[in-house]
Amino acid sequence: MRAPATVGGEPPAFVYLASQSPRRRQLLEQIGVRFELLLPRAHEDAEALEAERTGELPLAYVQRVTLAKMRAARARLVSAGLAPAPILCSDTTVALGRRILGKPVDAQAATETLRRLSGRTHRVITAVAVGAGRAVRLAVSTSRVRFAVLPDAAVRDYVASGEPFGKAGAYAIQSGLAAWIEHIEGSYSGIMGLPLYETAALLRGVGIAAPGAPRQDTALSPGGR
């Protein structure tokens, strides 16, 4: 088994979280991982990293964006002269078939997205990457979510609440719209934006323990969940 990556010969005490998402912070806190924020600076166009490419499939998209975020975060770390430590990046997209349903730009786009999801099953794909030194490890979690048929009034009220904005697929699993979700298959935390099982495994690989997650021997045991 390969030894965990270290920083300066010692296991790292924390991870840099290169994400503006409060949900990802909450999820790391949930499993007891110490982190420091490594956020885009004023001159950085973080949204540009998430721009779609013509014909790009959802899985390829989410992996590419996550690795682009990692490169930007590494440059930020060096430029700021911060102490070395592993970096954690993640990106989530919602896919309906081959179509990527990104963050809505306005109320009309949010309404159209929710109407597409109504009464159908879609995928939520989240990629997470941990970088330490020159090495980058990446994992992907794919979950399936099915909405019941959404009444026009429910869509209208949800869009009016402002909740859809800044969220892939125009919704958050932990919001009031969850009352219309019939079925989930996969990782609830992955749907929120950071699949904790995969994240804990990546962090173990760089020597960072997640006290609230399964130990390595438990996670790798046959049939273990």
Active site residues: 91
Cα gap 40→19, rounded to integer Å: 8
Cα gap 180→89, rounded to integer Å: 30
Strand partners, 184: 145
Neighbours of 104 (CB within 10 A): 22
Strand partners, 185: 144
With CA atoms as reference, report the closest residue to 49 among 30, 72, 82.
Answer: 72
With CA atoms as reference, report the closest residue to 129 among 210, 59, 203, 56.
Answer: 203
Residue carrying structure tokens 């005490």: 13
Contact in structure between 189 and 29 (CB atoms under 8 Å): no
Neighbours of 78 (CB within 10 A): 10
Contact in structure between 192 and 174 (CB atoms under 8 Å): yes
Cα gap 128→17, rounded to integer Å: 11
Contact in structure between 182 and 201 (CB atoms under 8 Å): no
Cα gap 174→177, rounded to integer Å: 8
